[in-house]
Amino acid sequence: MDRGAPARLRVSAAGAAPGEERDAAERSALLELAVEAARMAGDLLALRAREGGELGVASKSTPTDLVSEADLASERAIRELLLGRRPEDGFVGEEQGASKASQSGLSWVVDPLDGTINFLFGIPHWCVSVAVRDAGGVLAGAIYDPNRAELFTATRGGAAQRDGADGRRALAGRERAVVADGGEVGLSSAMVATGLYYDARVRAAQAEVLSRLVPRVRDIRRFGSAALDMAWTAAGRYDAYFERGVKQWDIAAGELICRRAGLEVHELPEHEQLPPGVLVASPALAGALLELVA
């Protein structure tokens, strides 16, 4: 994951996105391909993780922003699969950027290894994110976590789902944190996930935001994968998630999954040292959180 430049986000809730005229069969077929690509790359990465010792590691925007040969190999494998099946589609990957323009009106947006630092340190919290979009937004998205054998998916106009050891479950966020302090909407029981930017100056500004937020919520989690943070918020493991400096491949699949799970997806505007970002929460929590972190 590279937080070097922000993505542009739409404020959206569970309703249909523009361009939903594409039929369900097409969206389903695209999702099947996204799932195949995410699972294939995730299994390749899991094998590399078991073997240990990534030899090829380089820095990108800052010395703490790393890319490994695993990132590059995963992206190459996904690109070959997707463009082999759909050669007229575009492709945007984290490591190579916009490497192919679309001739079909569809483009794939891929984070081949979200949570690179965790992967390199042997921390089993990383994933693969694959999404496909048209002019109206993301049509289908899949986030695969090979460490837990969990798959999070959604299509535009369809349900958000999780496939795991306990079977398939619909995702609907969680409302546990919205009633507090005499029955009014409150944050005191909310579990909030976030992430930190690579640039030290931005981190200092983020620390000021966290100092306001920490006394108001149950607790904060920072695990290092934006895509998984969004998937876990959709699954109700977190009550909300926000982060600055995310890029399109970090959140393309996740924002669709969250939206289809009934959550709101808000853009955080740029503010002084803070780059733009994203906030995801239930409708009952989103407004109060925005006041604290936007």
**Which structural domain, as residue segments, surrounds residue 103?**
24-170
Vertex 169 angle, CA 163 and 172, to 5°: 120
pLDDT band for position 173 (cuts 50, 70, 90): confident
Q: Does residue 149 share a domain with residue 234? A: no
| End-to-end CA gap in the chain | 22
5 within some domain:
no
**pLDDT the model gives residue 2:** 42
**pLDDT the model gives residue 94:** 80
Q: Does residue 148 share a domain with residue 71? A: yes
How do 127-134 and 137-145 pair as beta strands? antiparallel
Q: Would you say residue 1 has pLDDT above 80?
A: no
- Sequence-distant (≥ 6) Cβ neighbours of residue 129 within 8 angstroms: 38, 110, 111, 114, 141, 142, 143, 227, 249, 250, 252, 253, 254
Cα separation of 90 and 86, whole Å? 9
Average of per-residue pLDDT across 182-204: 83
**pLDDT the model gives residue 151:** 98
**pLDDT the model gives residue 16:** 43
176 within some domain:
no
Candidates 151, 160, 176, 164; CA nearest to 34 is 151
**Which CATH number fits the domain that encloses residue 141?**
3.30.540.10
Average of per-residue pLDDT across 121-127: 94
**pLDDT the model gives residue 98:** 57
Q: Which two tokens stand for residue 212?
A: 């306001």
- Sequence-distant (≥ 6) Cβ neighbours of residue 210 within 8 angstroms: 194, 220
**pLDDT the model gives residue 175:** 63
Residues making up the chain, counted from first to last? 294
Cα separation of 203 and 200, whole Å? 5
Cα–chain-centroid distance for residue 228? Answer: 6
Helix ranges (H only) for 57-180 are 69-85, 116-121
Q: Does residue 149 share a domain with residue 55? A: yes
154 within some domain:
yes
pLDDT band for position 201 (cuts 50, 70, 90): very high
Coil vs helix vs strand at 244:
strand
84 within some domain:
yes
Q: Does residue 134 share a domain with residue 213? A: no
16 within some domain:
no
Average of per-residue pLDDT across 239-265: 96
pLDDT band for position 4 (cuts 50, 70, 90): very low
Indicate the average pLDDT of the chain: 86
Number of domains within the chain: 2
**pLDDT the model gives residue 70:** 87
Q: Does residue 127 share a domain with residue 265? A: no
Coil vs helix vs strand at 109:
strand
Q: Does residue 128 share a domain with residue 74? A: yes
Which is more confident, 22 or 284? 284
Domain boundary among 141, 170, 199: 170
Q: Would you say residue 196 has pLDDT above 50?
A: yes
pLDDT digits over 22-67, tens only? 788 999 999 999 999 999 999 999 998 988 765 555 444 444 444 5
pLDDT digits over 77-100, tens only? 999 999 999 999 999 998 665 567
185 within some domain:
no
- Sequence-distant (≥ 6) Cβ neighbours of residue 246 within 8 angstroms: 3, 6, 7, 195, 226, 277, 278
52 within some domain:
yes
Q: Does residue 227 share a domain with residue 148? A: no
Residues above pLDDT 70, as percent of the chain:
82
Average of per-residue pLDDT across 3-16: 42
Domain boundary among 115, 137, 170: 170
**Which CATH number fits the domain that encloses residue 204?**
3.40.190.80
Q: Does residue 244 share a domain with residue 164? A: no
* CA 256 vs CA 45, 81, 90, 262, 264: distances in Å: 24, 22, 19, 10, 10
HSE-up of residue 222 (Cα within 13 Å, Cβ side): 12
pLDDT digits over 217-246, tens only? 999 999 999 999 999 999 999 999 999 999
Candidates 231, 253, 244, 239; CA nearest to 282 is 239
Domain boundary among 107, 138, 170: 170
Q: Does residue 211 share a domain with residue 164? A: no
